[in-house]
Amino acid sequence: MLGINKNAGVDEIKSAYRKLALKYHPDKNPGDKSSEEKFKEINEAYEMISDAGKRVQYDRFGHAGVGTASPPPGGGGQGYGDAADFSDIGDIFGDMFGDVFKGGRGGGRGQRREKSSRGRDLQFDLELSLADAFTGAEVPLQIPRQEPCSACGGSGAKTGTSSKTCTQCKGAGQVRYSQGFFAFNQACPRCNGEGQIIESPCPSCRGAGTTKTTHKVTVRVPAGVDQGTSLRITGAGDAGPKGGTPGDLYVVIHLKKDARFTREGDDLYAESPVSFTVAAFGGDISLDTLDGSVTLKVPPGTQPGTVFRVKDHGFPKLGRRIKGDLFVKVTVAVPKTLTDNQKTALRNFAQSMGESTPAGSDTIFKKVFK
């Protein structure tokens, strides 16, 4: 029944029983009679061979050798009531089903499992510009959600009526079943675990207690949020059924692409064109950043592709007062049109560099700014 050999140790027995009990437990297979019978069989098998005394008798005499009240003469076993280590069985079911089973010698008495009446959590995907993510923002949203029905006040019952205690579970929301030495609870099939029956449902919400509406909420986006950051707004999700606690709203940030900056972590990357003369002679250039203008000093002889670091002008670190850095890659701007004087000057420059160019040729720019 447990799928183990005759020489299996305690740990192997327990492991096999745990897997099969989880597979065939009635809570996992509601209404399945074959699973229910299988569950009884594996319980009996485990109860028999997990006890050292009974296991000896079973190995010697088979199933008939293990009585339910007392062991065969000389067997040294225990009676049915004390045969299995019930606390051990309780531990197994505690692992599998949480608080449904609490082990105790004498039958693993079940505890009531409370049915959650909390509303669903909702998610909203918010597209945000890089500038708003940098400074933080307050964004108004309109969220479709379930709210308490205004007609019945969230009770689900028609005006002038009220719900009644379920006669089958007497308001507990659970009914108790016994199988052999096990007792366990299941949601009451009459009231679906609610403990209450609504005989006259509210016509507006049809007994649900909630209706679909659009809720206005303002989300406060802190400075420094990144792609995928999730902001939780407590209580802004769906209302709980029958007056239960509302769920939460999770706002997930999606950053739009920015034409000027690329973000990597808390650092920003950008490109800035400079003229050939500034690159050659050096000079100051003005940069527009997300937090204002800064002056970048370009040293003489700066080569195209040189990257400069502008400290503390990157993104603010979320929840902290420090920032990342801004990295600026310099590109040399080549003028598209030149005057005759400018062309002459550049030809003279090229000749001084040992380059000869045909008169009227503009290909010199490609060589100079390569």
Q: What is the mean pLDDT of the chain?
A: 80
pLDDT band at 262; cut points 50, 70, 90:
very high
Q: Comparing 305 with 358, which gets the higher pLDDT?
A: 305
Q: Comparing 260 with 2, which gets the higher pLDDT?
A: 260
In tens, the pLDDT along 290-321 reads: 989 999 999 999 999 999 999 999 999 988 88
Half-sphere exposure of 59 (CA within 13 A, CB side): 14
In the chain, the domains with their CATH numbers are 10-97 (1.10.287.110), 115-157+206-257 (2.60.260.20), 262-368 (2.60.260.20)
Per the CB < 8 A criterion, the answer to whether 201 and 242 are in contact is no
Say which residue the tokens 């020489």 belong to.
7
pTM: 0.57
- Kindly state the tokens that stand for 64: 């008939």
Per the CB < 8 A criterion, the answer to whether 246 and 232 are in contact is no
pLDDT value at 43 more than 80 = yes
In tens, the pLDDT along 127-178 reads: 999 999 999 999 999 999 999 998 888 888 888 888 899 988 988 888 887 7
In tens, the pLDDT along 74-85 reads: 444 333 333 334
Rounded to 10°, the helix 33-49/10-24 angle is 160
pLDDT value at 188 more than 80 = yes
Predicted local confidence at residue 62, as pLDDT: 63
Q: Look at 53-67, 144-158, 236-250, 286-300 and tell me which has the smallest mean pLDDT.
A: 53-67
